[in-house]
Chain A
Amino acid sequence: MSNFDFDIVWQNLPYLFLVGLRFTLTLTVLAALGGVILGTLLAILRQSGGPVLSGFVAGYVNLVRALPLVLVIFWFYFLVPYVGQWVTGSPRPIQVGGFASALITFIVFEAAYFSEIMRAGIASIPRGQSSAGQALGLTHAQVMRYVVLPQVFRIMLPVLLTQTIVLFQDTSLVYVLSITDFLGAASKIAERDGRLVEMYTFAALVYFVLSFAASRGVQRLRARYAVPR
């Protein structure tokens, strides 16, 4: 603490923010969007996909939720090239970049958590809503699309956003693949210049400020939405 060097942070701000934080935020947003879409599909399949399909989805969701994210990141890092080879019929495993690998991992991983949120949301809509939709002649899919899901997204928005804040924090784990996300960028400078205290303190501060502000925002949203249905 004797010689905390603010200058090292100041000098490297462009690298930290324009390279590191940009990667982190891009990954967070894309993974959240992908995760919500895939998670919603999984929730629908699980609810109305027939016994085999819904059993398969349930198995997938429970498997993913039982595993540490770090292990899943490693799994996909090694698995994706082989899957790519298989899909494209290429003679050798396909090298995908760190970003693509991380994005696929987070979409597939977070989808399991998002699907549980959506499932709870679908279950919270009174049965009378689907009945009313079907009584009007809508198909099952139309009822989902026009009646149920819009309500679910509205009710579950705060929970989905809270999970996205968790996702934002979790993206720091791409550190294990030596990717230059925000923490990766801080860590690289920390190692290069021997300034671990400054860089990690600063990284912690930035994560804290962003997460705290975002969760306050979600709280405010929750309060605004807390009107009787």
Chain B
Amino acid sequence: MGYHWNWGIFWEQSPEGTGTYFDMLVQGLETTLVTAALAWLIAFVVGSVVGVLRTLPGRVAPAIATCWIELFRNMPLLVQLFLWYFVVPDLLPGPWGVWLKQLPNAPFITAVLGIGFFMSARVAVQVASGVEALPRGQRAAATALGLTGPQTYRYVLLPMAYRIILPPLTSELLNTIKNTSVALTIGLAELTARARAVQEFSFQVFEAFTAATLAYLVVNLIATLAARWLEDRVRVPGFGKP
């Protein structure tokens, strides 16, 4: 192949003047991790609330939950980010929109919110399916003991539901990390964007992408191991073997 490899490229100064190319990638990785962590926080909290709503008796709460889920699940993440970044500021009353547009870290905030809400729909589906996987008698037993609805969810249903859905939740967490790369389209300087920048400055495309690939693999591995550790820790003795 007519490609000139240069693995030493990472230790050369980048033209941005903020350190080496390696430093660029490390900063990108940091941005990826921070963005993903905050987006996951939103996804987990909002997704849990929406998932619980979906399992409540009656019609109104489940209908609201279904609308939320369908809304955020049926548009590409990229399009959702564009909506948050380009459209929502225009829909807000004048000064608010301007304020939003001029935030110095608008790409970051948009990415956290956009990815968080996008993933919340997926978390909600998992939480609801976890609650529905429990025997119906569990809710009845808690109710019969005099626990209120919130207490039933807090002490009886959710602790088991979260245990059941831990494996799929782990893949949703990994998806959240991967999805932060979509935010490069609105100017977030995350890992893939930085690898691309290294390539544009240095023309060492494959070195840059290899480094990013390895970084994603390591992050993936750590998250997977952490999840497995958590699964072991919260495993209920005598309750199946997940």
Chain B 55-95, CB-CB to A under 8 Å as 1, else 0, gives 00000000000000011011111111011001100110000
Instruction: Report how far A200 CA is from B185 CA in the complex, Å.
Output: 14
Contact assessment for A183 and B79 in the assembled complex, using a CB-CB cutoff below 8 Å: yes
Tell yes or no: B54 within 8 A of A by CB.
no
Contact assessment for A63 and B209 in the assembled complex, using a CB-CB cutoff below 8 Å: no
Contact assessment for A211 and B79 in the assembled complex, using a CB-CB cutoff below 8 Å: no
Known: A70-B182, A169-B76, A212-B74. Contact between A201 and B83, CB under 8 A?
yes
Known: A70-B184, A82-B1, A201-B87. Contact between A172 and B78, CB under 8 A?
yes
14 A-B pairs besides A70-B182, A70-B184, A172-B76 with CB distance below 8 A are A1-B90, A66-B216, A66-B217, A68-B181, A68-B182, A71-B212, A74-B196, A74-B209, A78-B199, A92-B2, A169-B77, A172-B78, A176-B185, A196-B90
Interface size class of B (residues with CB under 8 A): 35 or more
Tell yes or no: A173 within 8 A of B by CB.
yes
CB distance from A192 to the nearest CB of B (A): 15
Q: Please give, as numbers and ranges, the residues of chain A lying within 8 Å of B239 by CB-CB distance.
A: none
Contact assessment for A71 and B192 in the assembled complex, using a CB-CB cutoff below 8 Å: yes
Contact assessment for A63 and B76 in the assembled complex, using a CB-CB cutoff below 8 Å: no
Tell yes or no: A86 within 8 A of B by CB.
yes
Q: Please give, as numbers and ranges, the residues of chain B lying within 8 Å of A108 by CB-CB distance.
A: none
Q: Please give, as numbers and ranges, the residues of chain B lying within 8 Å of A208 by CB-CB distance.
A: 71, 74-75
Tell yes or no: A170 within 8 A of B by CB.
yes
Measured CB to CB, the nearest residue on chain A to B193 is: A70
CB distance from B175 to the nearest CB of A (A): 9
Residue among B79, B90, B178, B195 making CB contact with A207, cutoff 8 Å: B79
CB distance from A6 to the nearest CB of B (A): 15
Q: Please give, as numbers and ranges, the residues of chain B lying within 8 Å of A66 by CB-CB distance.
A: 174, 178, 216-217, 220
Instruction: Report how far A229 CA is from B140 CA in the complex, Å.
Output: 32
Q: Please give, as numbers and ranges, the residues of chain B lying within 8 Å of A207 by CB-CB distance.
A: 74-76, 79
> SS class of chain B's interface: helix, strand, loop or mixed?
helix
Contact assessment for B78 and A67 in the assembled complex, using a CB-CB cutoff below 8 Å: no
8 contacts between A and B (CB under 8 A): A66-B220, A67-B217, A68-B180, A71-B181, A78-B206, A200-B82, A204-B80, A204-B83
CB distance from B183 to the nearest CB of A (A): 9
Interface size class of A (residues with CB under 8 A): 35 or more
Residue among B71, B76, B91, B196 making CB contact with A1, cutoff 8 Å: B91
Tell yes or no: A203 within 8 A of B by CB.
yes
CB distance from B54 to the nearest CB of A (A): 15
Residue among A68, A172, A200 making CB contact with B87, cutoff 8 Å: A200
Instruction: Report how far A92 CA is from B2 CA in the complex, Å.
Output: 7
Q: Please give, as numbers and ranges, the residues of chain B lying within 8 Å of A82 by CB-CB distance.
A: 1-3
Instruction: Report how far A190 CA is from B178 CA in the complex, Å.
Output: 27
Q: Please give, as numbers and ranges, the residues of chain A lying within 8 Å of B70 by CB-CB distance.
A: 212
Q: Please give, as numbers and ranges, the residues of chain B lying within 8 Å of A203 by CB-CB distance.
A: 79, 82
Tell yes or no: A175 within 8 A of B by CB.
yes
Instruction: Report how far A162 CA is from B185 CA in the complex, Å.
Output: 26
Contact assessment for A67 and B213 in the assembled complex, using a CB-CB cutoff below 8 Å: yes
Residue among A169, A197, A215 making CB contact with B90, cutoff 8 Å: A197
Q: Please give, as numbers and ranges, the residues of chain A lying within 8 Å of B180 by CB-CB distance.
A: 68
Q: Please give, as numbers and ranges, the residues of chain B lying within 8 Å of A190 by CB-CB distance.
A: 86
Chain B 207-220, CB-CB to A under 8 Å as 1, else 0, gives 00100110011001
Tell yes or no: A133 within 8 A of B by CB.
no
Q: Please give, as numbers and ranges, the residues of chain A lying within 8 Å of B78 by CB-CB distance.
A: 172-173, 175, 183
Interface centre among B71, B73, B75, B196 (most CB of A within 10 A): B75
Interface centre among B70, B74, B192, B205 (most CB of A within 10 A): B74
Chain A 62-82, CB-CB to B under 8 Å as 1, else 0, gives 010011111100110011001
CB distance from A33 to the nearest CB of B (A): 21
Contact assessment for A175 and B185 in the assembled complex, using a CB-CB cutoff below 8 Å: yes
Q: Please give, as numbers and ranges, the residues of chain A lying within 8 Å of B80 by CB-CB distance.
A: 204
Chain A 1-17, CB-CB to B under 8 Å as 1, else 0, gives 10000000000000000
